Amino acid sequence: MADAPKSATLTIGDNTYDLPIHSPTAGPDVVDIRKLYGQAGVFTYDPGFTSTASCDSTITFIDGGEGVLLHRGYPIDQLAEKSHYLEVCYLLLYGELPSAAQLEEFESLVTNHTMLHEQMVYFYRGFRRDAHPMAIMTGVVGAMSAFYHDSTDIHDAHQREVASIRLIAKMPTIAAWAYKFSIGQPFIYPRNDLDYASNFLRMCFAVPAEDYEVNPILSRAMDRIFTLHADHEQNASTSTVRLASSSGANPFACIAAGIACLWGPAHGGANQACLEMLKEIGSVDRIPEFIARAKDKNDPFRLMGFGHRVYKNFDPRATVMKQSADEVLELLGVENNPVLAVAKELEKQALEDPYFAEKKLFPNVDFYSGVILEAMGFPTSMFTPIFALSRTVGWISQWKEMIGDPQNKIGRPRQLYLGETARDYVDIESR
Ligand code: CMC
């Protein structure tokens, strides 16, 4: 961290405290309160971490006001247009775009780790037939620590590297098998002659009786969905991975924790919730009714795929996703898809509505991703597993960064205690 030439003064009663201010390379200054409790005996209060930087990082930068998302400095729209997922993985993991030789080596490494330990098949079979694929993924990724003992020592840089490659390489197989299991079809094994996205599509849609010809436009759209979800700085699931890792837990346990957190409808579950909402709306004439519900303080309904903790402007990922939706639906000959029609009209009406303008609520990445994934043939239950697959590289990059950080210590938030003060135990007969 750079030296802190600036400071803030905090006055509590008769005492004043100097708090160092760190200036980032981009974004707002950060007041360093690490010594505050030791010096002043007070905690800070910030539920939801709305004003708190939990770490320093060099991976991803978001300017929510301007709608900017940078990975290692590169804008997401340029990466989505010119790069591809495995190159973005390399960038996130190692900090720079790879040379042609480095990329080839990295892709070959990932491709050669896509198979799962065969005994994991029995692990899948232990799940109920109708298990949600996210439940299966949480369990299977956690179970990897029982299958890959030789990459669980977080203090060994080589083992950390092997665990990282294994997780990125095996996640499409894990997600595709979770899907296959949930629909009662045999598992399809990965094929090394296919690229990352095509391999995933084939493992989801081929059956032993009939192979699946991967359409390059669909494969490109799939790759773009992976790229757009690859990392998003200190969001809830990434912070969960960091917090789990701060105790020294192994990488598979930490990523399983991230998957569990991602599942919630306010986070990765929003794409499933959004498509279900668009279908419930059903036709454009019902949109005003749902907008009115979203604005009603007494109704818990929210417009799914709208709003974001950080973006108070367009989510730059949503713009690319909208273009992709048009391309994919045109390719599949479903440009007149009623769900897409509802999505576009809902976006238009919400953006014209003062409620959404005042609260700076714009479409987020999940608003159009569900429309694309459904058109590709995925059921809604697979939307969040695809998000988890894509975000794995972000979780791992942040995990690796954290382990290499000398400031790293176990995460232990404080609290504002509002419960009873000490009181004597009362025997049950006297209560
Ligand atoms: N529809 C209607 N009103 C909303 C919405 C929405 N989608 N989102 C926020 N608001 C209102 C909210 O009621 C509140 O109003 P008031 O100030 O009058 O109480 C105000 O806007 C601020 O909301 P908040 O809940 O304090 O904001 P937050 O930053 O804590 O929440 C959010 C962010 C993403 C959880 C929220 O916008 C939301 O629930 N959106 C729908 C779910 C969704 O699409 N999530 C995907 C996020 S992007 C993918 C990811 O990162 O995982």
- For the CA of 268, the closest atom of ligand 1 is 52
Nearest CA to ligand 1 atom 32: 308
- Is 419 exposed, middle or buried, given 0-12, 13-18 or 19+ CB atoms closer than 10 A? exposed
CA of 102 to the centre of ligand 1 (A): 41
| C-alpha to C-alpha distance for 68 and 111, rounded to whole angstroms | 32
By most ligand atoms within 8 Å of CB, the mutation choice from 303, 308, 368 for ligand 1 is 308
| C-alpha to C-alpha distance for 325 and 333, rounded to whole angstroms | 12
- For the CA of 237, the closest atom of ligand 1 is 52
> How crowded is the C-beta side of 380, counted as CA atoms within 13 Å?
14
411 CA to centre of own chain: 20
- For the CA of 387, the closest atom of ligand 1 is 52
* Phi and psi based region of residue 34 (left: phi greater than 0; alpha: psi -120 to 50; beta: remaining): alpha
Q: Which residues line ligand 1 (CB under 6 A)?
A: 235, 266-268, 270, 294, 302-309, 359, 361, 364-366
Nearest CA to ligand 1 atom 22: 359
Instruction: Provide the residue type at 418 as one letter.
Output: L
Nearest CA to ligand 1 atom 8: 307
Neighbouring CB atoms inside 10 A of 43's CB total 14
CA of 26 to the centre of ligand 1 (A): 25
Asked if 252 and 116 touch (Cβ cutoff 8 Å), the reply is: no
By most ligand atoms within 8 Å of CB, the mutation choice from 277, 302, 303 for ligand 1 is 302
Neighbouring CB atoms inside 10 A of 160's CB total 19
| C-alpha to C-alpha distance for 270 and 366, rounded to whole angstroms | 6
Nearest CA to ligand 1 atom 49: 267
- Catalytic annotation, residues: 308, 366
Tokens of 240: 């969960």
By most ligand atoms within 8 Å of CB, the mutation choice from 359, 366, 384 for ligand 1 is 359
Local confidence pLDDT in tens for the 431 residues of the chain: 555 579 999 999 999 999 999 999 999 999 999 999 999 999 999 999 999 999 999 999 999 989 899 999 999 999 999 999 999 999 999 999 999 999 999 999 999 999 999 999 999 999 998 999 999 999 999 999 999 999 999 999 999 999 999 999 999 999 999 999 999 999 999 999 999 999 999 999 999 999 999 999 899 999 999 999 999 999 999 999 999 999 999 999 999 999 999 999 888 888 888 999 999 999 999 999 999 999 999 999 999 999 998 888 888 999 888 888 888 888 888 777 788 889 889 999 999 999 999 999 998 888 888 888 988 999 999 999 999 999 999 999 999 999 999 888 999 999 999 999 999 999 999 99
Nearest CA to ligand 1 atom 19: 297
Residue count (the chain): 431
Distances (CA, A) of 382 to 182, 204, 263, 400: 10, 10, 11, 27
Task: Say whether 409 sits in a helix, a strand or coil.
Answer: coil
CA of 307 to the centre of ligand 1 (A): 5
Nearest CA to ligand 1 atom 20: 359
Beta bridge partners of 9: 18
Tokens of 382: 């697979």
